[in-house]
Structure 1
Amino acid sequence: MSSAQQDRTSGRAGGSFKITQEGVVTTIAVALFVVFSLVLDKFLTQGNILALLKNVSILGILAVGMGFVVVGRGIDLTMVAVMVVGVAFAIWLSTQGFAFGEAILIGAALVAICGLITGILIAVAEVPPIFATLAMASVVYGGGRVAFNSDVLYAPSGIDWLTYIGSGILFGVPVSVIVFALVAALVALFLQFTRFGRFIYASGDNPATARTSGLPSRTVVIMQYMISALIAYGAGILLTGLVSGINTRLYNSTLIYDVLLVVVLGGISLSGGQGGVRNVLVGTILVGILINGMTIMNFSYTSQNLIKSVILLAALAFDAVINPRDEQTSQSGDI
């Protein structure tokens, strides 16, 4: 049994360190929620809780995609770029005579191609993921800015399903949160109960052994980045439904670092082969509450970024201590 399989088995038994880490993060999230509820007058209002849930759903969907890649010992810095450019492209197509549904499908194809190219660079050309995805993100975003020559593109009016998934309420719960839950559940089931999911864990746990065992490692890597790109695109469509458009300048925000913070803080190891969607959920809740509380307290944008950066740095250092990079990891040059 591989170390990744042992980790998941012990996690279900409740004896692994990952469970303890999730417990600590969950406890901190509950404590923050209680403190903010008592100290901040506007925190526990219906409007703020709904806003918190909606914002968390976007962050959470992106983090699910990132976690999907990190489990396989990779990293995807293209997510925000393909999200904003893919959705912007679909909106632009809708202004050129395409039905919005058709435009969405064509946009998905573009995003999948971007993920395919990224995966080929990493799996075939063996470019380290952090460099391949960083460069690909710049190419995608730069191409989008040249093509659209506009920062904000608004979705066509009268698209009821788009408005519903972004701002609708079902049984008192924002539809965007339900969409997030469905995406998380599908990815969790995919990782745990499909052969491809087991391949991802095996490749992340020990890439050399996976290759020598005959696993289609290159195909696994390519598919990971294509799926990650499509998940990011889905988050972009949800965001468009929430705010009626897409701002391509979101690429220049700290969103991608917030996504990394969720993944690492939740307990998915950067050395691969460990963790899953459950870790993403825990990290999303904590980071969502933290960001919302800081916003209500009128922390400046710079101050918020500083606090999140310190937490991310601490989480990375903690991960390096409890999940040391072995010789195989160091040789692979994965991140």
Structure 2
Amino acid sequence: MSAAEQQTGARGPTIRERLLQSQEGIVFLLAVVAFLAFSILLPSFLSSGNLLVLVRSVSILGILALGMALVVIARGIDVSMIAVMVVSVSWAFVITRAGYPFELALLIGASFAMLAGIMIGTLIAFGEVPPIFATLAAGSVIYGTGRTFFFTLEMQNVPPDTEWFRLIGQGNVFGIPVTVVAFALLCVVVQLVLRRTRFGWMTYAMGNNPNTARVSGLPTRPMIVAQYASTALIAYVAGLILASSAAAINARLFNSTMIYDILLVVVLGGIGLNGGHGSVRNVILGTVFVGILLNGMTIMNIDYTIQNLVKGVVLLLAIVVDSLVNPRDEQTSQQGDL
């Protein structure tokens, strides 16, 4: 524990910490209110079919948000996640139809995702390109490369004779969807990594003060590469679960607003964009609220453009609140990393 943390513990929670705690409480209350309101106003909201769709979609969104949280805590951001997800999963399916064993194709897809993450992390760590620009450009390059050289059709169906794979997105374990189980397991793994490992400690240290972390001798550049590689691999896992649930992966997701939904989950849940704090609990809170909100608007048959407007307003408000709760320091402003 650092001297600053010891001082904080001695004098009790600061105003900032109280605000963070209240933000979590507000998000939780909003999720409860939204759930109750939709349950009363929309008869089909509590139907078993809709709840099943809700928990599956929430789980996939949550898994992607876990990957985003890893880089945001370290003062980064990754808007290339959807490109990595659709290209790596689609290519794995194409390779399978070309005659390769499905398991080998999945490993190749995972390798591509990790390679993409390593290249992005290297560009940020050693090229010192701001993360928002590096990942924005890399996402377009990855997607364009995939559509040009790996596959031409936007929709890639799950290969036949892969019943075990379909069970991932459509099966149950003791009545609980496998997607929910997978999300829960990943939550446990990420929480343990962040709180119980040197990797997690260094991630928080980098987010709190990158210059101090670097001067202290922490391997910040290899850490950045590892963080983006991990995020890319998590995106690949989320893509596999999504494809298993829908029996296909649609490359059009790259042009959707899914990346903004992920950012909304992270920021709304309480993980500040200036890094240094946040946990899996914040991701779960944000995921539940955003999932309920999106599901309710879909059932209400609200126009897609209006849905985007609502999400945009909520995201903007969440960013404003985050800037007030976690003011940008001089170092962040000079870096221009977000």
**TM-score, normalised via structure 1 length:** 0.96
1:106 and 2:88 correspond: no
Residue from 50, 59, 65 that aligns with 1:48: 50
Contact 2:75 2:337 (8 Å CA) reproduced: yes
Q: CA deviation at 1:162?
A: 1.2
Aligned to 1:81: 83
Aligned to 1:179: 182
Residue from 291, 296, 301 that aligns with 2:304: 301
Residue from 29, 32, 35 that aligns with 1:33: 35
Contact 1:68 1:276 (8 Å CA) reproduced: no
Aligned to 1:257: 260
Contact 2:70 2:231 (8 Å CA) reproduced: yes
Aligned to 1:189: 192
Aligned to 1:240: 243
1:57 and 2:87 correspond: no
**TM-score, normalised via structure 2 length:** 0.95
The alignment covers a number of residue pairs equal to: 332
**Aligned AA for 1:107?**
G
Aligned to 1:320: 323
Aligned to 2:245, the other structure's residue is in SS state helix
1:151 and 2:151 correspond: no
CA distance in 2 between counterparts of 1:70 and 1:5 reads 24
Residue from 96, 99, 104 that aligns with 2:98: 96
CA distance in 1 between counterparts of 2:50 and 2:132 reads 36
Aligned to 1:134: 136
CA distance in 1 between counterparts of 2:157 and 2:188 reads 30
Query: % of aligned pairs identical?
Result: 53
Q: CA deviation at 1:171?
A: 1.7
Q: CA deviation at 1:2?
A: 6.6
Deviations 1:97-154 (A, max 9, x none): 1111000001111111100010011000000000000000000001111121110111
Q: CA deviation at 1:316?
A: 0.4
Aligned to 2:21: 19
Q: Could you say what the CA RMSD is over the residues aligned between the two structures, in angstroms?
A: 1.6
Residue from 285, 290, 305 that aligns with 1:287: 290
Aligned to 1:16, the other structure's residue is in SS state helix
Contact 2:20 2:325 (8 Å CA) reproduced: no
CA distance in 2 between counterparts of 1:302 and 1:210 reads 43
From the superposition, tell whether residues 79 and 87 of structure 1 become closer, same or farther in structure 2 (CA, over 3 Å). same
Q: CA deviation at 1:3?
A: 5.9
